[in-house]
Amino acid sequence: MMNVSKRHVYFIEGGDNVGKTTTIQNLKQNKYIESIRFNRVRFSKYPTNDATNTINKLNTLYKENEVRYKNQEVKESEYVRTKRSILESLINTMICDMISSFDTLYNEKYVLTYPDDVLEICDRGFLSTYLYQYRDMPGVQKLILNIDTELEYLKAFINKYLPPTMNDINVIILNNNANPLLANIIMDDTETIEYKKDFDNNIELQTRVNNSLNNIVRLIQQDKVYDLLPIKFYYINIFNETGSIRKSPDEICEEIKAIINKEE
């Protein structure tokens, strides 16, 4: 029988400018790699370069459809049908792009001394696809949601789009708990990926995304995400308890390490 090695996957998620990429770069230091309980560590970033061109092309079609509808060049039924088709293609492209995180490792070259030794840390993952694409799908509410409706939408997305897996799938949300009177997030104006720039400049979209992230954090706090098993959800506040001082990358990495190592 061929050896099987299960991946332990941790998707690092959060709103824009919460420090996901910086945190993951910091995690690559030997002091963290050597103190993590797994023998093999892999880092991934989604979407990959292989998928970016396709995503940009689909996003261009999406914008063209919006303009045509705004200019009354197409009927609403055609607009909705086209929008649904483009978003389905975007979602499927993004999930296929991260399929290796859901695949069980059967290749013996990955199997070391222990069967459960493979850790994968990912910069974004399926939760971003839910937040940016699925929540924009025709028939899905665009309004600010309560937490119970958010949970139902998230369950529907996971059941429809995520592939079955034997892997240990986890999501860690870097939560912006800043006190708006005391602290601000510094915006990144260096984004070069076209579809990502569109998202960054869309205030309405960012408001919706942040509301959904706040809802999911509240679901975690209320122990309601057990409905999403076998996927486990965690969050880490990026500011201190008063929301006035931003934590250092090392402080956040120590909290991520504790989650991975299952430290109490």
- Residue that has been written with the tokens 């993951």 in this structure: 24
pTM of the full predicted structure?
Answer: 0.88
State the pLDDT at residue 9: 95
* Structure confidence at residue 203 (pLDDT): 82
Predicted pLDDT of residue 210: 92
* Residues with Cβ within 8 Å of residue 109, at least 6 apart in sequence: none
* Spatial separation of the C-alpha atoms in residues 70 and 76, rounded to whole Å: 10
Give the pLDDT of residue 120: 94
The dihedrals phi and psi of 9, each to the nearest 5 degrees, come to -105, 130
Tokens of 61: 């079609």
- Maximal CA-CA distance, the chain: 63
In 37-105, beta strands by DSSP E: 40-45
Provide block-wise average pLDDT over 10 residues at a time, the chain (264 residues).
Answer: 70 92 95 91 94 96 97 97 98 96 65 64 97 95 91 96 92 92 49 56 85 96 85 96 94 97 74
**Distance between CA 97 and CA 73 in Å, rounded?**
34
Q: What is the pLDDT of residue 190?
A: 46
